[in-house]
Amino acid sequence: MRSLNTNALVPAAGGVIIAVFSLLLYLDMRGGRGASLNEEIGTITFKRQTAQRKYASQVVWDDLAQSVPVYNYDTIRTADVSEAVIKLKDGTEIALNENSMILLAMTKDDVSVEFTRGSIAASRDDADKKLNITAGGAVVALGKGALNVSRGRGEGLDLTLNRGSARVRSGANEKDVATDQRIVVADDVRVFDLKIRLSSPGPNEYFFTPAEKAAIAFSWEPALREGQAWLETAADPSFASLTVARPVAGKTATLALPGGIAYWRVRTADRATGKIEVSEGRRLVVLKSEPLVPITPSDGAVVRYTLNVPIILFRWSENAAGGMSTLSVFRDAKMEDRVKSARIAGTSIAVDDLAMGTYFWRVERTISAGGKQITDTGALRRLVVERSDTPVAPELVYPAEGAAVNRLALEREAASFTWKKNTDHPLTRVEIARDRAFTEIVHAGDARGNVLRPAKALEPGAYFWRAVGILDEKTSTPPSSPREFRVVETGDIALVSPAEGAIVAPVAPADNASVDFAWRRSGISGRYRLQVARDATFASTYRERAVDGTGTTLDNLEPGDYAWRVLLLGDDGNELMRSAPRALGVRRPLPLPEVLSPADGNIVDMRDSNALNFRWRPVKDATLYRIGLYHMKKGIYHNILTKETGDTAIAMTELERLDVGDFYWTLQALEVRAGRSVERRSPEVRSRFSITLGGPAQKPEIQSPRKIYVE
């Protein structure tokens, strides 16, 4: 029997392995991990910032892009200041607001949405399947129409029906919901008629603007005859922290809102009765549509090649609103002879099939959101692709003209010299010289790719570099135009956090703080040393720690002012480079606030009140106060309100959230800098109270006959 030929077996096995893993990579890029196991049920039609998907068969979250498919049993979630819109195949559109999460399931008869947290909006017209939204033990069934649903972690549902009809079931309770009604599902199902009906903007409406702000026209019905109305906006659906509370007259108003997500509502107080009415809260999105600008190739650019058709990178400007782009390449400036068209979710594409000739290219970007669509078209640019009998020199990328390169990075082969890849050049030679004429060459090296890390200790000073493409043993390109760069002795370590002048305070009741320090890698291998001192001279080090990575935490830092820096040490322990110092302050936490009312143990009679008032004493250095209100239901406290204010009092007018029973409220003082960063915070104080609607107890009046017989 002939033995196996190992010389043939090893390459064959290698080829099989490469083929298998290439196929797996292709499948992963086409559909994502686990996608092929389930049916495709919809598409992500719009995404802003961070939206992620987890397949039913996976535990890993993947980032979502525009226009990717959604599969049965996918879990979708969004992060801060993020959103995603899903269009299902049956016509249902589901918009996830920030910090929201759902699981999608579609069967033969219905669509199920398992709603975990956040807020979503669902709309459907002529859908052939029933839509069931479940959260905890509650189920919302929507036929045709549109609704908004919100839910905190572990809480019930708060639902507003904008159009159509729906049915809500929770345990044995079942209610039908009509347009302009709100339902709160907790232990029971409560229905509220909305006396104030919002007209425009519509639910989840999008506005596109090229400016920093968009003028939004608001309207509602009916107009208040006697009393005061307020148009209110907030950054969250609970309206915990209002961004605008403007008194308005009539039933219309206009506000200029910046880009981002906003929630709006109308609140009224009737002068005659004192009754407070609050409309539903609606969400709107202002998207800044920045103009599309082509970046590369530049207008009139000439791309030359010798043997192989070149790879040409087309790139254009980004837009925070995302969108889909279409690259079109034409033979003529009138754009009548289209030779190529490609639709891209990103902002670049590499093309490798443009042969010799003159072309014209442009990009169109379409943004679709909330039923609206805008299209922006970039300028038309001219591109020339030339074939030359004279070999084309490499095009240098880095170091740029006048760049500084660290001496240690060169010595340790950490500094990269790069140029644009050219398939005509199987080999590229890089030369470094002391003079522009290259009569004094100090280093030369060859590379098969487009990167070279020369292991050469160059003394500090000015140098020049260039590259020559090697086509074969006898043919090479002319040298590229030379570039000057400088070799410097010291480098820089980029500090990340804490920021310059940051103030850190511990979590009460501790007086000393734990501080997380972070920095970026310097590009040179070695070990880092974090130093903390009482002053910027570092005459005496307060704390010091050796670190292998790019961050560490120092515990138990006493209150005071500090300076910190990071050193890079070589294998011999000698200092290779150091960062610039940064100032850092450690402060004690703010003192515990003192509650005035409702005080601990109070009974509050709300029979004739239009607001529940909270008051406390001011805390020195506090600039903001955070209040939370909790209601006990069946032995469990549920959060029903969270608000922030700079005053020492706040009035809760959302009386529909209140009920008779036991409550407690929390108060925390904050010291907030410009930009809303919290420097210090106090411990949280808690005060328990009860709400009644009965008023003070009256003396009983006993009616009896004149004679009372006692046995």
Give the pLDDT band (50/70/90) at residue 616.
very high
The model's pLDDT over 43-56, given as tens digits with 9 standing for 90+, comes to 888 887 788 888 87
Q: What region, left, alpha or beta, does residue 552 occupy, with left being phi > 0 and alpha being psi -120 to 50 degrees?
A: beta
Q: Say if residue 234's pLDDT is above 50.
A: yes
Identify whether the C-beta of residue 688 lies closer than 8 Å to the C-beta of residue 662.
yes
How distant, in Å, are the alpha carbons of 50, 57, 60, 508, 627 from that of 34?
Answer: 21, 6, 10, 46, 44
Q: Say if residue 348's pLDDT is above 50.
A: yes
Give the DSSP per-residue string, 165-199.
EEEEEETTEEEEE-TTEEEEESSSEEEEE-SSEEE
Contacts of 23 (CB under 8 A, 6+ apart): none
Identify whether the C-beta of residue 589 lies closer than 8 Å to the C-beta of residue 681.
yes
* Domain definitions of the chain by residue range: 38-193, 198-288, 294-387, 399-488, 495-586, 595-692
Give the homologous superfamily in CATH for domain 399-488.
Immunoglobulins (2.60.40.10)
The CATH number for 294-387, chosen from 1.20.58.1180, 2.60.40.10, 3.40.50.300, 1.10.357.10, is 2.60.40.10
- pTM comes to 0.55
**Residue position matching structure tokens 């200029």:** 256
Quote the distance between the C-alpha of residue 384 and its chain's center: 40
The model's pLDDT over 202-213, given as tens digits with 9 standing for 90+, comes to 888 888 888 888
Q: Say if residue 36's pLDDT is above 50.
A: no
Q: Say if residue 704's pLDDT is above 70.
A: no
pLDDT of 631 reads: 85
The model's pLDDT over 108-166, given as tens digits with 9 standing for 90+, comes to 878 888 888 888 888 888 767 788 888 877 888 888 888 888 876 556 678 888 888 88
Q: What region, left, alpha or beta, does residue 496 occupy, with left being phi > 0 and alpha being psi -120 to 50 degrees?
A: alpha
Of residues 248 and 455, more confidently modeled: 248
**Residue position matching structure tokens 């043939």:** 8
Can you tell me the distance from the alpha carbon of 541 to that of 117, in angstroms, rounded to the nearest whole number? 48
Of 393, 394, 413, 416, the closest CA to residue 403 belongs to 416
Give the pLDDT band (50/70/90) at residue 332.
very high
Q: What is the mean pLDDT of residues 347-371?
A: 87
Can you tell me the distance from the alpha carbon of 255 to that of 241, in angstroms, rounded to the nearest whole number? 18
CATH number of the structural domain 198-288 = 2.60.40.10
Can you tell me the distance from the alpha carbon of 156 to that of 654, in angstroms, rounded to the nearest whole number? 18
Quote the distance between the C-alpha of residue 576 and its chain's center: 37
Of 361, 359, 382, the closest CA to residue 299 belongs to 382
38-193 and 399-488 share one CATH topology?
Answer: no
Residue-level length of the chain:
711
Provide the 8-state DSSP code for 55.
-
Give the pLDDT band (50/70/90) at residue 14.
low
**Residue position matching structure tokens 């399931």:** 105
pLDDT of 26 reads: 45
Can you tell me the distance from the alpha carbon of 233 to that of 330, in angstroms, rounded to the nearest whole number? 48
pLDDT of 5 reads: 46
Q: Which of 148-152, 313-317, 398-402 has the lowest mean pLDDT?
A: 148-152
Of residues 280 and 36, more confidently modeled: 280
Q: What is the mean pLDDT of residues 321-329?
A: 85
The model's pLDDT over 490-524, given as tens digits with 9 standing for 90+, comes to 666 788 888 888 888 886 667 788 888 998 876 66
Q: Which CATH architecture has domain 595-692?
A: Sandwich (2.60)
Which two tokens mark 90? Answer: 């049956």
Q: Say if residue 99's pLDDT is above 70.
A: yes
**Residue position matching structure tokens 């925390």:** 668
> Domain 38-193 falls in which CATH fold?
Jelly Rolls (2.60.120)
pLDDT of 694 reads: 64
Of residues 87 and 526, more confidently modeled: 87
Which two tokens mark 549? Answer: 């990575």
Burial class (CB within 10 angstroms; exposed 0-12, middle 13-18, buried 19+) of 298: exposed
Q: pLDDT over 70 for what percent of the chain?
A: 87
Residue 35, helix vs strand vs coil: helix
Can you tell me the distance from the alpha carbon of 430 to that of 446, in angstroms, rounded to the nearest whole number? 6
**Helix/strand/coil percentages in the chain, nearest 5:** 5, 55, 40
How distant, in Å, are the alpha carbons of 187, 253, 382, 634, 654 from that of 271?
Answer: 34, 21, 68, 37, 17
Quote the distance between the C-alpha of residue 242 and its chain's center: 21
Contacts of 262 (CB under 8 A, 6+ apart): 233, 234, 235, 243, 283, 284, 285, 286
How distant, in Å, are the alpha carbons of 289, 336, 376 from that of 366?
Answer: 10, 21, 7
Q: Which CATH architecture has domain 495-586?
A: Sandwich (2.60)
Can you tell me the distance from the alpha carbon of 634 to that of 701, in angstroms, rounded to the nearest whole number? 35
pLDDT of 459 reads: 87
The model's pLDDT over 635-688, given as tens digits with 9 standing for 90+, comes to 677 778 888 888 999 988 888 788 888 899 999 998 887 655 677 888 889 999
**Torsion angle defined by CA atoms of residues 198, 203, 204 and 210, in that order, rounded to the nearest 10 degrees:** -50
Q: Say if residue 38's pLDDT is above 50.
A: yes
Can you tell me the distance from the alpha carbon of 576 to that of 141, in angstroms, rounded to the nearest whole number? 67
